[in-house]
Amino acid sequence: MTDQPEDPTQATDGAAPADAPPPAAPAVLGARRPVLIAVVVVVVLGVVIALGTGILGGAPTATNPISATTDSIDRGATTYANSCARCHGVDAHGGGVDSGTTSVPPPALSGPSSHLTAHSDGDLFTFIHDGLPGGMPQWAGTLSDNQIWDVINFLRSLKGS
């Protein structure tokens, strides 16, 4: 007799043979997947809300320190045209030329479906400064705080136009 097992696909040391398929994932993982996805969504939304309300320290101040003068609004319009219009649209109604490049479409910032009415200036500062998951890039380091506040003044001046 030889030391070889009778069936060459069977290992004698308890290990699976080299050509055996990988073991199936436990059925429990499949049952828990929706719960895991829900937990991830809730955590991400919580972080976004916390950033938007300043809980995590986003905006340096809750109110805009730059008065909405004609000069500020003009500076904001220029910065918007150079930095924001490609995604949010030239008219701030959304649908800019780069709006389809993100997983979350850039919202309208003016007009009847404006996203601005739901947020404070501090929220908007944080969104622009720190960015948002899914597409809104972080503008900190590219735009100064004053430029961000000027953009907010410009957007507020549109008043749903």
In degrees and rounded to multiples of 5, residue 140 shows phi and psi of -60, 135
| Greatest C-alpha distance within the chain | 99
pTM of the model as a whole: 0.62
All structural domains of the chain, each given as residue ranges with its CATH number in brackets, are 31-161 (1.10.760.10)
Q: Over its length of 161 residues, how does the chain's per-residue pLDDT go in tens digits? A: 555 555 555 555 556 666 766 665 555 556 676 666 655 555 555 555 555 544 454 445 568 999 999 999 999 999 999 999 999 999 998 889 998 898 998 988 988 888 788 889 999 999 999 999 988 999 999 999 999 999 999 999 997 55
